[in-house]
Amino acid sequence: MENIILTIHIILAVLLIGSVLMQKSEGGALGIGSGSDSLMSSRSAGSFLTKFTSVIAALFIITSISLTAIHREDNKNTSVLDKIEKKEDNLPKIPKSK
């Protein structure tokens, strides 16, 4: 199940990157100002590409949260410190010199 969601997550990431790069730049820094096309008019209600990007972004977030939940259930009672202590116990002991 985790592999299927991970595959879908990667596909959504590629689609999200592509849809953001295909959108028209509005010009200005951080959305301040307007492009040369729309001097007197406001922005349209939303094109297909804008709606597509928002749907893909929502699905990307859902898959991210689900992957986190699945991974959390798998490693519920383990700690990174426990893993380090186990590795240190398996290392060979170096004799102390006098």
Q: Is the pLDDT of residue 31 over 60?
A: no
Q: Token pair for residue 96? A: 């102390």
Domain locations in the chain as residue ranges: 1-20+48-76
d(C-alpha 10, C-alpha 3), whole Å = 11
Containing H/E element for 25?
none
Compute the average pLDDT of residues 81-93: 67
Residue 40 is classified by DSSP as S
pTM: 0.61
Q: Which tens digits make up the pLDDT trace of 47-72?
A: 888 899 999 999 999 999 999 998 88
Neighbours of 97 (CB within 10 A): 4
d(C-alpha 96, C-alpha 17), whole Å = 57
